[in-house]
Amino acid sequence: MKILVTGFEPFGGEAVNPAWEAVKNLPQQIGRNEITAMLIPVVRYESLKAISEKIEEIRPDAVICVGQAGGRKAVSFERIGINCDDYPSFGDNEGNKPVDEKIFADGPDAYFSTLPVRRMKEACEAAGTAAEISNTAGTYVCNHVLYGVRHYCTQHHPEIISGFIHVPFLPEQTADKEKEYPSMPLEDIIRGLEAAIAVLGEGQE
């Protein structure tokens, strides 16, 4: 399979984003899968524009978007994205602070990930990386991308599967924080993502 894997730029005052640090270090070939890594902005709609343009350029079989979820202990395979942008107190990287706004006015209330999240989670765990299935991707730009990519693919390329994976902070991100947060070494995140992505090349439904 040809797989587009995206990772976000840093946001919220962080110097790094573990999502992009992991994605940019993935090998170009994972099992039978050809990997294209892509950095995307933490900006509503701009992130979707960048991904949709890349989809048209390379025509992948799957799109996997990866984002940071500070406070989580495990690699989280998101099950669902909702049609809602709501982050009034914590803007994106262009200062947008939407309140209860639909991502697409003509879109359904939610889209389920079309990735095999259960098998990907199990493969991640088998590789020695803590993993879980999450039933909420929040209402920030991560959810925006999960929902928006599914909306785009449903409308234009229904053959493309897509979904979203959240990863924890890196240890260096938590060292100077007043509150104690869980973290995960970069090598563990990369190993877990590799194992999960390899599942897509197994030829199973």
**C-alpha to C-alpha distance for 23 and 13, rounded to whole angstroms:** 20
Per DSSP, what are the bridge partners of residue 6? Answer: 38, 65
- To the query of whether residue 65 is one of the catalytic residues in this protein, the response is no
The residue annotated as part of the active site, out of 65, 84, 124, 142, is 142
| Main-chain dihedrals φ then ψ at residue 20, nearest 5 degrees | -70, -35
Q: Token pair 């439904």 is at which residue? A: 205
| End-to-end alpha carbon distance in the chain | 13
Tokens of 109: 């209330």
Is there a catalytic annotation at residue 78? Answer: yes
Name residues whose C-beta falls within 8 Å of residue 10's C-beta, 6 or more positions apart in sequence.
16, 17, 20, 42
Task: Answer whether 46's CB lies under 8 Å from 95's CB.
Answer: no
The structure tokens listed for 108 are 């359904």
65, 78, 144, 153: which is the annotated catalytic residue?
Answer: 78
List the one residue out of 163, 202, 15 whose CA is nearest residue 75.
163
Catalytic member of 84, 151, 153, 166: 166
Note if 124 is an active site residue: no
Residues annotated as catalytic (active site), given as ranges: 78, 142, 166
